Chains A and B, each alone.
Chain A
Amino acid sequence: MDLLQQRVNQAHASGDYQPVIDLIPYAGVLGVQCERFGEEMIFRLPRNVDNIGNPTIPAIHGGVIASFMELTAAFQLTLQLEHPALAKIIDFSVDYMRAGLDRDTFAMCTVERQGRRVANCSIIAWQERKSQPIASARGHFLLDSFSSLT
């Protein structure tokens, strides 16, 4: 159980969040990174030819952008919970606003409300300017079922 707790504590102490991200294989496949700026965590999806989903623009695969945002929310929650756990996703909804071009993408998650059982998250993703997001998303996570941790 406390592999996660350990990794989260270490990550907060050292500022290196990669060991936490490495817990989720798909985050590694996508190449997700994380940096902390004071209280804020910004997640980065570095430019990667393997993430292309529209070869004509070329643009990043819409599913990749959504997954990256979902992972951003999952990590943000894990890292800010008092007793870190990988929250279980209930639903996720994303609006695409601009094509995600073949360059670095960033995402941030705001936990709008963290109840006893459910957390409401909103996530934005951007490339050049945060004021011009490429996508925004909302998701709900279940906090009271941590049984699938080994």
Chain B
Amino acid sequence: MSEKILGKCRRFLGSLAHMRKLQMQVIKADEKSVTVVLPVQDQLLSSELDTYMHGGVLTTLVDTATSLSTIPALKEYELCPTLDLRIDYMSAPVTSQPMYAHAECYRVTRNVLFTRATVYQENPSKPVAYAISTFMRPGAGNTDLAFKALVDGVEETV
């Protein structure tokens, strides 16, 4: 089951241009939660300033992780637009270490999905940020079929 979820998450992530550009990867996915990593990379390093001026890239990581956490929460893939996203910053991330986001979808209703995420670096018990995000469900039949097929994959029907 986890394999299947991991596959779905990876295919979803792999289909997004911006994620490829940032080399973001799903490292863990199961029925409950998803963990995504943003590797250390030259394009995000500055020789002039250090640490938190990663600036908005943490936001992109969180949005991606929470959005991925909707995948295990739903039986069939639905492309859910984000309604809102809030991030609280606990401490400044450093550019010398990868950044991880652990996200879970903790409540599913007919129309809305509620998710939360924790962002950390070396030590998962010392988060650099907490986030919550809600998503709207598009309703049956409103997800592009080709994209749904791409995310769901064909492995189980072969």
Contacts and interface: CB of A to CB of B under 8 A. Distances in A.
Q: Which of B21, B56, B89 has the most CB of A within 10 A?
A: B56
Which bucket holds chain B's interface residue count? 35 or more
B46 A66 contact: no
Q: Which of B51, B64, B84 has the most CB of A within 10 A?
A: B84
Contact of A93 (B43, B57, B63, B86): B86
A86 interface: yes
A88 to B, nearest CB: 6
Contact of A29 (B21, B48, B49, B81): B21
A86 B52 CA distance: 10
B44 A23 contact: no
Contacts, number: 136
Contacts of B27: none
A66 B53 contact: no
A13 interface: no
A53 B20 CA distance: 10
29 contacts: A23-B46, A24-B53, A28-B43, A29-B43, A51-B18, A54-B81, A56-B144, A61-B16, A61-B60, A63-B61, A64-B60, A66-B59, A67-B56, A67-B57, A70-B56, A74-B55, A88-B52, A88-B92, A89-B52, A89-B89, A90-B89, A91-B89, A93-B85, A94-B85, A96-B82, A96-B83, A96-B84, A148-B53, A148-B92
Which 10 pairs across A and B sit closest by C-beta, in order of nearness?
Answer: A67-B56, A63-B63, A63-B60, A56-B144, A93-B86, A62-B82, A26-B57, A70-B56, A67-B59, A66-B59
Interface of A: 3, 23-30, 49-56, 61-64, 66-68, 70-71, 74, 86, 88-96, 99, 148-150
